Amino acid sequence: MKRITVLSQRLSNQIAAGEVVERPASVIKELMENSLDAGADRLEIDVEQGGTKLLRVRDNGAGIHKQDLALALSRHATSKIAELSDLENIRSLGFRGEALASISSVSRLKLTSKTGEAGDGSAWRVAAEGQEMEAQVAPAAHPQGTTVEVRDLFFNTPARKKFLKTEKTEFTRIDEIVKRIALSRFDVQFTLNHNQRAIHKLLAAKTEQEQQRRVGLVCGPAFVENSVFVDMDGPELRLRGWVSLPTFSRSQADLQYFYVNGRIIRDKLVTHAIRQAYRDVLFHGRHPAYVLYLELAPGAVDVNVHPTKHEVRFRDSRLVHDFLFSSLHKALAKITPTDQLAAADSNLHSGAAFGSSYAGSGADFGGGAQSHLSLSEPTRQSYGTGSHGSGPAAIQQQLAAYARLNADDDEVPPLGYAIAQLHGIYILAQNQEGLIVVDMHAAHERITYERMKQACQNEELKMQPLLVPLSIAVSAAEAECAESQRQMLLQLGIELERAATESIIVRQIPSILRDADIEQLVRDVLSDVLEYGSSDRIQAHQDELLSTMACHGSVRANRQLSIPEMNALLRDMEATERSGQCNHGRPTWVYQSLDELDKLFLRGQ
Ligand code: ADP
Ligand code: MG
């Protein structure tokens, strides 16, 4: 039997470093957070060789007292909390007092600082080299603020060092951290240099426009142009930020920034609520993009859940989930053709085309439009004398439509007036600024679907008793949940009761779902409710059914529509929520401005 000994301070710091200091990027995160906690509004970050050689963060914050310098490097030493109650109302990013100790145990660290206090003439420096601290405090030259310099990370922990990836990969991770933090504090200026090359210089952004510019620099201009700004208040909650239009989706969940009281987090509950808000409008398998800020009382969220503080725990998770879902759901439903046209317009200025980031059909409408709009193919030679829209009545209608378009007292609606139908599939329309092409089936499908949903909602969920009540074996936790949430489940259209410790009996279900796999559905609903406090599975199932029904009940391709019918469809689209995407998340219309058409024909160049 081996005997028990107390670990040396160095070893225990190195063990703690295992949690907090995974790679260069984690060092940058801790150092930047310290600078922000010190009230700095200017951060300069220098990195060499992906951070393995040098990581330096210089700030103009409050600085550290000479007497505290050595203490700053020791474990469980912090200026941010003093007692437990402080932890419950934490406003600083740090509070564990172990970052500098951990970092200095696995690197060569220098900490130089000067406070702004009167009489504090010179700056001071401490250095540590991966060993037990016998910190020597020496005078140094430094303006007010602090510089932390970390060299040769993991020089004394080769096992750790082996896990590092290439210089490029490590730097990409650092860059990602800098961007995340830059999005959390618009009032702070950030510069980032790698191997003496300037990577970012983000000036403090005061006005909304400047903030939007920073978001564009960090997330790419296409995101800003294809997103809407939301600002919603809830019960002691506030949600602000940018969410992407459903037609601007990503193949990966890589453009998702979510901040809780200024701290970036990844949280299952949050992701779930946002996904749910996009459920009905996002193309299958795609991910929404967002930069969102949730603010709530510090006491309503526990940040002390994880050493790297990437996770939080909400005191009332259901409230937060519902607030996020309903705010975003509302915002997405309200996106109008006018919003999308604005996005299309700004895309144009940046040289991209509407929907350019949508990796699906029609993505290159505009960019590669030459081939799309080419009229030189023999099959399309019949333009103007073609089979459709050539009868006298059609010409009359067209003239009427033109007359309406040109009557200047009449404001042209966003999607304009129909001028023709193309190959029985697309409606061509012109609005004030250009050409609109509508996928007629997709558009009609969405309109029918939204109407059916509305009808269903107004009618309330009709329930239908099961001929033979269904008994399901579940876990004790699930049975308890079913019992305590009986009322809520009833509102979803499920009537059930607990039969035993680990079994429930389902008596009634929503009649529209009578052919669904009830057992699976109830299980899934219960596990949602357990995890997120609510479930939208019933709604999702119901929507899926309605969507299929809507699909069958909508105009098929190759149906000739008259001009008034087409115009009616355009007006319906403008009036219908979520009409920019079909039930499967594909765009229902695209737009090309006259300017852009001119460019295609090299007009005025
Ligand atoms: P924590 O941030 O959890 O308090 P750290 O180990 O990161 O723990 O830092 C220890 C202490 O050192 C902080 O509480 C703070 O007082 C001081 N400190 C660290 N970095 C800075 C800085 N850039 N400016 C001012 N003070 C700092
Ligand atoms: Mg810290």
Residue 354 in contact with ligand 1 by CB distance below 6 A: no
CATH 3.30.565.10, the chain: domain bounds: 9-200
Residue type, 28: I
Residues of the chain with CATH 3.30.1540.20: 364-452+558-600
How high is the pLDDT of residue 359? 29
Alpha-carbon distance 544 to 540, whole Å?
A: 6
pLDDT digits (tens, 9 = 90+) for 400-442: 555 555 555 467 899 999 999 999 899 999 998 899 999 999 9
In this prediction, the residues of the chain whose per-residue pLDDT falls under 50 are 347-391, 409
Separation of CA 373 and ligand 2 centre (Å)? 58
Tell me the CATH number of domain 208-339, given options 3.40.50.620, 3.30.230.10, 1.10.357.10, 3.40.50.1700: 3.30.230.10
Q: Which CATH number applies to 461-551: 3.30.1370.100, 3.30.70.100, 1.10.1450.10, 3.40.50.300?
A: 3.30.1370.100
What share of residues in the chain are helix, strand, coil (percent, to 5)? 40, 20, 40
Judge if the beta carbon of residue 212 lies within 6 A of ligand 1. no
Q: How far is CA 229 from CA 2, 3, 244, 249, 267, in A?
A: 62, 62, 9, 16, 22
Instruction: Tell me, using a 6 A CB cutoff, whether residue 98 lines ligand 1.
Output: yes
Other residues' Cβ atoms within 10 Å of the Cβ of residue 108: 17
> Is the distance from the beta carbon of residue 59 to the nearest atom of ligand 1 less than 6 Å?
yes
CATH fold for domain 364-452+558-600: formyl-coa transferase, domain 3 (3.30.1540)
Max Cα-Cα span within the chain: 102
As a CATH number, domain 9-200 is 3.30.565.10
Ligand 1, atom 23, residue with closest C-alpha: 35
| Residue nearest atom 16 of ligand 1, based on CA coordinates | 79
Q: pLDDT tens digits for 60-105?
A: 999 999 999 989 998 888 999 998 888 888 889 999 898 999 999 9
Which of 74, 75, 78 is the pocket-test mutation for ligand 1 (most atoms within 8 Å of CB)? Answer: 78
CA of 49 to the centre of ligand 1 (A): 25
Confidence (pLDDT) at 404: 56
Mutate to test the pocket of ligand 1, among 34, 102, 133, 306 (most ligand atoms within 8 A of CB): 34
CA 61/CA 84 separation, integer angstroms: 26
What pLDDT, on a 0 to 100 scale, did the predictor assign at position 132?
57
Q: How many other β-carbons are positioned within 10 Å of the β-carbon of residue 315? A: 12
Mutate to test the pocket of ligand 1, among 100, 102, 146 (most ligand atoms within 8 A of CB): 100
Looking at the chain, which residues constitute the CATH 3.30.230.10 domain(s)?
Answer: 208-339
CA distance 299 to 280: 34
The verdict on the CB of residue 75 being under 6 Å from ligand 1 is no
Residues of the chain with CATH 3.30.1370.100: 461-551
